Structure 1
Amino acid sequence: MFGIRLVDAAQAGTQVVVADESAVLAGGDDEIAELHRGSDERGRAGAVLVLPRPLRTPAKVVIVGVGAGDEAGWRSAGAAAVRAVPAGEPLHVVLPAGVSPTAVRGLAEGLWLAAYRFREAVDGARSAGVTLQTDSPDTYAESLETARVTAAATWLARDLTNMPPSVKNPAWFADQLVAEAASRPGLEVTVREPDRLRAEGFGGLLAVGGGSASPPRLLEIAWRPEGATRHVVLVGKGITFDTGGISIKPREGMKLMKKDMGGAAAVVAATLGAADLGLPVRITALAPLAENAISGSAYRPGDVITQWDGTTTETTNSDAEGRLVLADVLAYAVAKLHPDVVIDLATLTGANAVALGKRTAALYSRDDSLAADLEAAGQAAGERMWRLPLPAEYTDYLRSDIADRHSSPSQGAGSVVAALFLSEFLGDRVDHWAHLDMSAPAWSDANDADLTKGATGWGTRTLLRYLSEN
């Protein structure tokens, strides 16, 4: 990541001037104020006006809009500014007097997030730094550091998700996080390999990963700060590639299935970020990792699987694999870790995208307070979600004639029924649990505000906000 510095004196390079949607810039440079006055979309969040100034200093001025001036508007302005300036040019942002620390956090997040490039790419990365000019640098130092940690965690989640499946198998993913955690005091990492998974009864994870030459893993990362009084368990679906198994996906449905571990990427990245921020909450991140492949050892539609809690599942569709691995881990988390709250993130269903489109995740919870806290965290972080119901009568759809439940009933309401399936494994924590179905927003088809084309790292920012503020 490039650096962003707070300074109290002007620096050379392209100058960025901030404007809101209603005010006309006044004072200072009349030329800049006149350009802004004549704009048709003056101050709209993310709007950009460029003023070349040959043979003068600064040689170019970029006016960016912050809209109504909330954090989201400042985040859009940061994203727009970093895209308006070539990667090699220094960027100098003049902060208005009295701007809030929250606004500066949004600006810095936008600058960093929009500048992201996947680490395998050969060009386009910003190497030149950014300076923020203000008359009170100390006021914003904490906000800038929080933005840096949040952006770095999101970059990590994006890197993990963007990595090609030719590299990214369960062992590789686990190894990356072992290395990342090693540099952070206070983190403990456990990696369960197939023999231990078998001995401890993780039947769903073993079944889903059984068809691949790359065996499954269960990654557990624990952050236990001294004095913590609350324990949050984060669970993320970690299917490193999903063919659909014997219920094979069509080509169009399979080509982006390297992103099917986006939930795991978000929960582990958020946990590392929480450690970097020193958050005073105990966190355990659990990432069940498997490749859902096709072979003679792949599990079949019609198989009956024994889950970690001893109950059985009839696997009516091998492309409904995510819920099988999550079920094992949710049951384990409740029985062994005794959390106060459980939150799972999963690229679980295409039905989520049908209902809510590309930018919104589905939120399920019976806990009104937890749901409200997550919605507020997502709103502040710029990651939208919408709460959907968990109707008790739909639970009947899960019943099987030969096992305790079906994995994938055919009655419809796919995202809702998948959430109800997971709820069966929460025991006495079912009323302190939230499920985020985030398949669609885990990927962006184009650069869009603070998102870059490819993996979005969706959920990382929301989780860090939630953990910081609750």
Structure 2
Amino acid sequence: MAELEAGIDTGTGDGLLPDVELSGSSLTQIPGADVLALPFEKEDDELVLGPGAAEVVDRIGVDLLRLLERHEAKGTAGEVVEHLVLAADDDLPGTVLLVGVGSRRPGDLRRAGAAVARCTRGRDRVATSVPSVAHDAGLRAFVEGLVLGSFTFHRKTSGPQRPARRFVLAQPGSPDRRSEALAAGLASGRAGWLSRSLALTPSNEKNPAWMADRATEVAAASGLEVTVRDEKALAKEGFGGILGVGQASATPPRLVELRYTPSTGARRAAHVVLVGKGITFDTGGLSIKPAEAMMNMKRDMTGAGVVLAVMRSLAEVGCPVRVTGLLACAENAVDGNALRPGDVIRHYGGRTSEVTNTDAEGRLVLADALAYAVDKLAPTVLVDVATLTGAMKISLGQRTGGLFASDDALADHLLAAGRAAGEPLWRMPLADDYEELLESSVADADNAAGTPGAITAALFLRPFTGGVPWAHLDIASVGDSPVDAFEWTAGATGFGARALLHWLEQRQPLAGVTPPRRRNR
């Protein structure tokens, strides 16, 4: 897992993920720290310094409140005031950071953690008392921010400035009682890191077989079972959507199946199936994309990357239900053997689609995987994740993901998990009024029914879910961040991994969800 977590075999030998640990020492007693990070906030229009401030003031001889006033600090989440310590004493830290924690909500603490990480690149050991002002959810969020704010990915011979090597969280007296919150923050932060790294890997390295190899490595390291179907197995079992999309590529498609079983109560546990869109590069096929629209298409497998990252971390967060992850991987290429507009494909289970736009390929691979899950895996709940439609970006911008759901309780669980994880979702309508747009004169459905594009794409998928409670996460709106913003770095976001983990770690992640019913495909 070292290469996976360090940016997917960067070739640099760097272990880029920072170490994060709790310490029972006070802030100034942590040995070897070259940066001290203190929280501050505004209470009743007065700036207030957090734990450890008095000791730091005594040690460096600087009035930190006056420093904040000179900088007109406001205490907003993620605000940073930096003070360089100019002294000959080697025992003094080189830098003191004053970090705004806003209202101390988890989202504020996550931003504070990301800000600390960004400001301490290249440092060896950073000690901070920020988590001392937070409850466990805030500590977890702060750790997520530290990890994700440290994220970097490159293929340069001389890489960018590396993240701080170690963060030490001062928790005087009783660090052990907060170890679960630390572990949960590391698990979800690393899941976000892995899903970003997978998405950013260039497509001259990344293809369906490469994704299957990474999944096999994750399975071996995480105690998961894994099955990989190659193009021959897919043809034998009738996966016409995955095969059709991938038939023009020199690198054939794969369907990867990963299985997690909880350590206790496995027989009685409900079964969640996660399905990820894994288009390792999307030219658009014969309905080819413009050049500028193709630049980021190495990231069109973000859904599969999210599912793989979630599967890797399930045991770490103590997920109580069985989970199967399906990665539907293909490359949508251009060749003499490519799908043509007007072709009709037959999906797993027999349902047919007329391909009127070969650039609406993600729903074709998802359809196969969903139908297979219903037929063979007896799911309690289905959730698919995909960078599916540009229409979602138009609807929601680049900070909120789209959620469609056939079950209100399932939707509520996912919306709450997204809020807790800092990956907000907005529920969109599965509006039956638009079903008529999917009608085809030669097949069961048209794969490109037109506007409203995100809704018709979700409606296209619904018949393949067989009446099982289902949620569809269209993350095309949030799959990329245009700029560095708190825990987000410019580029692939890996959006969805944290939200799904926050959901699946709950004691009853399926409470109130309607039992599955069969529906004709």
Q: TM-score range by the shorter chain?
A: over 0.9
Equivalent residue, structure 2, for 1:258: 298
**Deviation by residue 1:411-443 (Cα, 9 ceiling, x = unmatched):** x100000000000111121xx100011013111
Correspondence 1:293 to 2:330 = no
Q: Which residue of 335, 348, 353 corresponds with 1:313?
A: 353
Equivalent residue, structure 2, for 1:332: 372
Cα pair 2:403 2:425 within 8 Å, conserved: yes
Correspondence 1:87 to 2:122 = yes
Question: How many Å separate the matches in 2 of 1:96 and 1:300?
Answer: 56
Deviation at 1:266, TM superposition (A): 0.2
Q: Which amino acid aligns with 1:184?
A: S
Identity %: 43
Equivalent residue, structure 2, for 1:115: 150
Question: How many Å separate the matches in 2 of 1:279 and 1:436?
Answer: 20
Question: How many Å separate the matches in 1 of 2:463 and 2:106?
Answer: 38
Correspondence 1:31 to 2:63 = yes
Structure 1 pair 404–45 and aligned structure 2 pair: CA distance change class (3 A): same
Correspondence 1:465 to 2:502 = yes
Q: Which residue of 173, 178, 187 corresponds with 1:149?
A: 187
Equivalent residue, structure 1, for 2:519: none
Secondary structure of the structure 2 residue equivalent to 1:275: coil
Q: Which amino acid aligns with 1:425?
A: F
Equivalent residue, structure 1, for 2:39: 18
Secondary structure of the structure 2 residue equivalent to 1:18: strand
**RMSD between aligned alpha carbons?**
1.5
Cα pair 1:184 1:276 within 8 Å, conserved: no
Secondary structure of the structure 2 residue equivalent to 1:20: strand
Question: How many Å separate the matches in 1 of 2:413 and 2:366?
Answer: 23
Correspondence 1:53 to 2:90 = no
Q: Which amino acid aligns with 1:59?
A: G
Equivalent residue, structure 1, for 2:457: 418
Structure 1 pair 231–261 and aligned structure 2 pair: CA distance change class (3 A): same
Correspondence 1:43 to 2:75 = yes
Equivalent residue, structure 2, for 1:8: 24
Equivalent residue, structure 1, for 2:4: none
Q: Which amino acid aligns with 1:364?
A: F
Question: How many Å separate the matches in 2 of 1:355 and 1:97?
Answer: 39
Secondary structure of the structure 1 residue equivalent to 2:259: strand
1:398-417 counterparts in 2 under 5 A?
A: 398-410=438-450, 412-417=451-456
Q: Which amino acid aligns with 1:450?
A: E
Correspondence 1:454 to 2:494 = no
Cα pair 1:21 1:45 within 8 Å, conserved: no
Correspondence 1:381 to 2:421 = yes
Q: Which amino acid aligns with 2:19?
A: G
Equivalent residue, structure 1, for 2:6: none
Question: How many Å separate the matches in 1 of 2:285 and 2:253?
Answer: 15
Structure 1 pair 307–89 and aligned structure 2 pair: CA distance change class (3 A): same
Secondary structure of the structure 2 residue equivalent to 1:124: coil
Equivalent residue, structure 1, for 2:431: 391
Equivalent residue, structure 1, for 2:7: none
Which range is displaced more, 140-149 or 39-48?
39-48
Cα pair 2:132 2:170 within 8 Å, conserved: no
Question: How many Å separate the matches in 2 of 1:180 and 1:97?
Answer: 34
Question: How many Å separate the matches in 2 of 1:2 and 1:91?
Answer: 11
Q: Which residue of 327, 343, 351 corresponds with 2:383?
A: 343
Cα pair 1:233 1:342 within 8 Å, conserved: yes
Q: Which residue of 204, 219, 237 corresponds with 1:200?
A: 237
Deviation at 1:96, TM superposition (A): 6.5
**Deviation by residue 1:106-149 (Cα, 9 ceiling, x = unmatched):** 11110110101116452322252111111121122111111111
Deviation at 1:98, TM superposition (A): 5.7
Deviation at 1:358, TM superposition (A): 1.1
Equivalent residue, structure 2, for 1:128: 165
Cα pair 1:146 1:277 within 8 Å, conserved: yes
Deviation at 1:97, TM superposition (A): 4.9
Q: Which amino acid aligns with 2:23?
A: V
Deviation at 1:37, TM superposition (A): 4.0
**Deviation by residue 1:340-399 (Cα, 9 ceiling, x = unmatched):** 111100000000001111111111012111111101101111112111111112111111
Correspondence 1:170 to 2:208 = yes
Correspondence 1:244 to 2:284 = yes
Cα pair 2:120 2:164 within 8 Å, conserved: no
Q: Which amino acid aligns with 1:262?
A: T
**TM-score for the superposition, normalised by structure 1:** 0.96
Equivalent residue, structure 1, for 2:104: 69
Which range is displaced more, 18-27 or 432-441?
18-27
Number of corresponding residues: 466
Secondary structure of the structure 2 residue equivalent to 1:276: coil
Q: Which residue of 419, 433, 441 corresponds with 2:470?
A: 433
Equivalent residue, structure 2, for 1:138: 176
1:227-242 counterparts in 2 under 5 A?
A: 227-228=265-266, 229-242=269-282
Deviation at 1:51, TM superposition (A): 1.7
Question: How many Å separate the matches in 2 of 1:59 and 1:304?
Answer: 66
Question: How many Å separate the matches in 1 of 2:460 and 2:177?
Answer: 48
Question: How many Å separate the matches in 2 of 1:139 and 1:254?
Answer: 49
Structure 1 pair 96–302 and aligned structure 2 pair: CA distance change class (3 A): closer
Question: How many Å separate the matches in 1 of 2:169 and 2:132?
Answer: 12
Question: How many Å separate the matches in 1 of 2:374 and 2:194?
Answer: 28
1:344-383 counterparts in 2 under 5 A?
A: 344-383=384-423
Deviation at 1:86, TM superposition (A): 3.3
Question: How many Å separate the matches in 1 of 2:369 and 2:152?
Answer: 32
Secondary structure of the structure 1 residue equivalent to 2:279: strand
Question: How many Å separate the matches in 1 of 2:333 and 2:134?
Answer: 52
Deviation at 1:193, TM superposition (A): 0.4
Structure 1 pair 282–151 and aligned structure 2 pair: CA distance change class (3 A): same
**TM-score for the superposition, normalised by structure 2:** 0.87
Question: How many Å separate the matches in 1 of 2:433 and 2:326?
Answer: 30
Deviation at 1:39, TM superposition (A): 4.3
